[in-house]
């Protein structure tokens, strides 16, 4: 009888897996224990072995496709057996749910259609002007000033208002002719993008039906002409009386002023067509400079500064996007949960590493495996945790778990992110044992060969960026641990010893604590013990 094969849950944090490679194809015989596929989880690429026997009748996802845990990925059965009923059964529940949601959406849409008015702006001969999207980050705009009031006649190129966005004060041009029938808010008030701010149409038109309808996020009915201005539209020059070449007092829209500046046009020479002789965009674009006599061109103020011409630089905006890996998805989810759930606080201490450096050199003369400073820190942290169980704890909701064993997670950077394999019972292991284990974990992590048993069960974590020259940093706690230790670089700096300034080797350690289980005093006492062990490393060998 045919049986479905589902995406297995291959780690405690896995929610979906990617088929990295199929080792069998449809029609192949499969025995129990045969390697069927390689699956990329959030932490490693792992072999998936079959616990069933039969002929491979169906393969669902292709290589590279992501599949949720417990979703059907294959079917095994007798050769030629009909398996479609199994697939239909697996999909029926989700399909039923989709149908129910679709029915619900149709019902809601029908309800909305019957509750709203069918009157449109076109039928009334009106133009609805909404708050335009004037920058890529804008969510709302503030009306800096209205240039017209209700009842005024509007021309198609009139700027009806100046709008203050999150980046600049800009002009909104309606491209609509008629009477200003409605103004939605006063100067100084804010409106969301796509909210109605004004309506233009024939004089005397009742716009109440339009206001009663819900404003949608559809394409605005009114176009928006925008221009960034470095000063407020109503700004007045505070300098002396302008010369003949100074056009700062000329009434012009910010966009017209910008175009004129780009083209080198003096606004004193341009005739405005808007109300009050105000110069708008089309006036500048249609302007044809008159010929000037040679004598007039020769007259120039001797003190006038020479204009600086900058060469034009043309750049190209480019970017590359890649799909988020399963590992990166889980890192993002778990670290977000940790940071926004656990109240973090940090404690930093400086360690005199002179004795540790001398001890390491002596140890490596006889050790079968080269011991690193990180191995010494892992050993010292494990020993200190035995004396301070409050730091070796975790929050369990309605309980606090005090761990009597010390399993130290070691953060290892890999190409796709970060893995944290665990050195178990680190307090009882020698420095050589810890060094060999960490090196083995690093090799497996880079080859994506770590197994769930390698990274589960930590009670405390050590993250070391000292080898990258980082002096000091803070880390996000590796949940459900109650604390994490951040290790900086060893720096040679002047220190005071016996009243004299001498060269010293100093390393900074920062302890990140979950305040729900670790108090400040508990964290400080742990760091003092850790400091003592590293500054007198002979105690680690006792």
Each residue's pLDDT tens digit, 442-499: 999 888 888 888 989 999 999 999 999 999 999 999 999 999 999 999 999 999 988 9
Nearest 5°: the CA angle 322, 324, 330 is 165
pLDDT at 110 exceeding the cut of 70? no
Spatial separation of the C-alpha atoms in residues 255 and 457, rounded to whole Å? 63
pLDDT at 140 exceeding the cut of 50? yes
Q: Please, are residues 506 and 353 in contact by the beta-carbon 8 Å criterion?
A: yes
Each residue's pLDDT tens digit, 349-395: 999 999 999 999 999 999 999 999 999 999 999 999 999 999 999 99
Q: Please, are residues 35 and 107 in contact by the beta-carbon 8 Å criterion?
A: no
Specify whether domain 122-204 bears CATH 3.30.2030.30. no
HSE of 296 in the Cβ direction (CA atoms, 13 Å)?
6
In terms of DSSP bridges, do strands 140-146 and 190-192 run parallel, antiparallel, or are they unpaired?
antiparallel
Q: What is the DSSP letter of 26?
A: T
Looking at per-residue pLDDT, the higher value among 212 and 192 belongs to 192
The pLDDT of residue 221 is 42
Q: What are phi and psi of 160, to 5 degrees?
A: -75, -25
Nearest 5°: the CA angle 435, 441, 444 is 145
The pLDDT of residue 378 is 97
Each residue's pLDDT tens digit, 295-350: 444 444 455 567 888 887 788 888 888 888 888 888 888 889 999 999 999 999 99
Q: How far is CA 192 from CA 120, 134, 199, in A?
A: 21, 12, 16
Q: What are phi and psi of 65, to 5 degrees?
A: -90, 145
* Token pair in block for residue 48: 């998936």
**Does the active-site annotation cover 70?**
no
Per this entry, what is the length of the chain?
A: 542
Q: Which of 152, 246, 275, 519 is catalytic?
A: 519
The pLDDT of residue 113 is 46
Its CATH architecture, for the domain 3-89, is Beta Barrel (2.40)
Q: Please, are residues 465 and 488 in contact by the beta-carbon 8 Å criterion?
A: yes
Q: How many CB atoms lie under 10 A from the CB of residue 539?
A: 12
What are the extents of the domains in the chain? 3-89, 122-204, 336-540
DSSP code string of 357-415: HHHHHHHHHH-SSPPPHHHHHHHHHHHHHHH-TTTSEEE-SS-EEE-SS--EEE-EEET
**Does the active-site annotation cover 519?**
yes
| 3-state SS record for 471-505 | CCCCCCCCCCCCEEEEEEEEEEEEEEECCEEEEEE
Percent with pLDDT over 90 in the chain = 39
The pLDDT of residue 193 is 85
95-117 average pLDDT score: 47
Average pLDDT along the chain = 82
Q: What share of the chain is helix, strand, coil (3-state, %, to 5)?
A: 30, 25, 45
Q: Which of 23, 405, 433, 515 is catalytic?
A: 515
Q: How far is CA 126 from CA 46, 108, 174, 221, in A?
A: 64, 29, 12, 10
Q: What are phi and psi of 413, to 5 degrees?
A: -80, 130
Nearest 5°: the CA angle 283, 234, 146 is 85
Specify whether domain 336-540 bears CATH 3.40.50.300. no
Query: Do 3-89 and 122-204 come out as alike in CATH topology?
Result: yes
The pLDDT of residue 245 is 64
1-20 average pLDDT score: 83
* Token pair in block for residue 528: 């003092």
DSSP code string of 53-73: -EEEEEE-SPTT-EEETT-EE
The pLDDT of residue 216 is 43
Grade residue 227 by pLDDT with cuts at 50, 70 and 90: very low
The pLDDT of residue 293 is 41
């Amino acid at each position: 009888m045919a049986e479905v094969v589902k995406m297995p849950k291959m780690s405690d944090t896995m929610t979906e897996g990617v088929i990295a490679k199929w080792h069998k194809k449809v029609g192949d015989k499969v025995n129990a224990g045969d390697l069927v596929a390689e699956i990329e989880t959030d932490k490693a690429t792992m072999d998936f072995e079959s616990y069933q026997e039969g002929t491979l009748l169906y393969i669902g996802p292709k290589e590279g496709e992501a599949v949720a845990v417990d979703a059907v990925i294959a079917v095994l059965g007798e050769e030629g057996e009909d398996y479609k009923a199994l697939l239909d059964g697996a999909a029926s529940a989700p399909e039923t749910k989709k149908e129910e949601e679709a029915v619900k959406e149709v019902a809601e849409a029908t309800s909305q259609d019957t509750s709203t008015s069918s009157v449109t702006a076109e039928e009334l001969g009106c133009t609805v002007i909404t708050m335009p999207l004037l920058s890529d980050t804008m969510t709302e705009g503030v009306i800096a000033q209205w240039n017209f009031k209700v009842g005024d006649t509007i021309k198609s190129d009139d700027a009806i208002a100046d709008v203050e966005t999150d980046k600049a004060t800009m002009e909104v041009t309606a491209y609509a002719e008629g009477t200003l029938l409605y103004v939605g808010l006063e100067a100084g008030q804010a409106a969301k993008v796509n909210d109605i701010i004004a309506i233009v149409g024939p004089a005397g038109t009742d716009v109440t039906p339009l206001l009663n309808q819900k404003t949608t996020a559809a394409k605005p009915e009114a176009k928006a002409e925008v221009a960034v201005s470095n000063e407020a539209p109503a700004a007045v020059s505070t300098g002396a009386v302008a010369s003949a070449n100074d056009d700062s007092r000329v009434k012009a829209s910010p966009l017209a002023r910008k175009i004129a500046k780009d083209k080198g046009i003096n606004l004193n020479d341009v005739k405005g067509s808007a109300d009050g002789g105000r110069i708008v965009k089309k006036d500048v674009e249609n302007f044809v400079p008159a010929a000037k006599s040679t004598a007039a061109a020769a007259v120039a103020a001797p003190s006038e500064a020479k204009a600086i011409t900058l060469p034009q630089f043309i750049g190209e905006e480019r970017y590359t996007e890649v799909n988020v890996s399963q590992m990166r998805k889980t890192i993002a989810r778990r670290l977000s949960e940790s940071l926004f759930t656990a109240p973090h606080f940090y404690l930093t201490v400086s360690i005199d590493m002179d004795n540790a450096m001398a001890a390491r050199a002596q140890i490596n003369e006889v050790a079968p495996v080269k011991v690193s400073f990180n191995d010494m820190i892992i050993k010292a942290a494990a020993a200190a945790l035995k004396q301070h169980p409050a730091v070796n704890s975790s929050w369990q909701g309605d309980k606090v778990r005090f761990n009597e064993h010390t399993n130290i997670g070691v953060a290892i950077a890999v190409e796709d992110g970060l893995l944290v394999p665990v050195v178990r019972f680190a307090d009882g292991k020698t420095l050589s044992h810890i060094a060999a284990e960490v090196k083995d974990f690093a090799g497996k992590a880079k080859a994506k060969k770590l197994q769930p048993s390698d990274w589960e069960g930590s009670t405390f974590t050590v993250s070391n960026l000292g080898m990258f020259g980082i002096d000091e940093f803070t880390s996000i706690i590796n949940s459900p641990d109650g604390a994490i230790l951040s290790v900086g670089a060893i720096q040679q700096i002047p220190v005071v010893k016996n009243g004299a300034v001498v060269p010293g080797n100093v390393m900074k350690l920062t302890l990140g604590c979950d305040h729900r289980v670790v108090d400040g005093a508990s964290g400080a006492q742990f760091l003092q013990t850790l400091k003592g062990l590293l500054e007198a490393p002979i105690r680690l060998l006792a």
